[in-house]
Amino acid sequence: MKRRERTRHLIELGGLVVKSGLVELANDDRALLYGAFLQLAYQLQNETREQTATLWRRSGSRAFKAEKEAAEQKVR
């Protein structure tokens, strides 16, 4: 991955952390956030990985869709 692409990718991932509200909920505590991410990674390593990933993906997709619809409502 080229440097510019990698930088963009990292910025987008950071944006998801902010968008999720985790930064505020954790009072910008990076140790707390890192610990939470380690827990997520652990959950994706066990035997229920596919089920967990499916649930999280559906939840994220619904949130993206709701956000898009809310933005479209504002434009109207």
State how far the alpha carbon of 15 is from the alpha carbons of 10, 49, 71, in Å: 9, 24, 17
Phi, psi of 71 (to 5 degrees): -65, -40
Q: Is the pLDDT of residue 63 over 90?
A: yes
What pTM did the predictor assign? 0.80
C-alpha dihedral sign at 37, 38, 39, 44: positive
pLDDT of residue 76: 74
Q: How confident is the model at residue 23 (pLDDT cuts 50, 70, 90)?
A: very high
Query: Of 17, 61, 15, nearest to 40 (Cα)?
Result: 17
CA dihedral 55→6→2→53, nearest 10 degrees, is -10
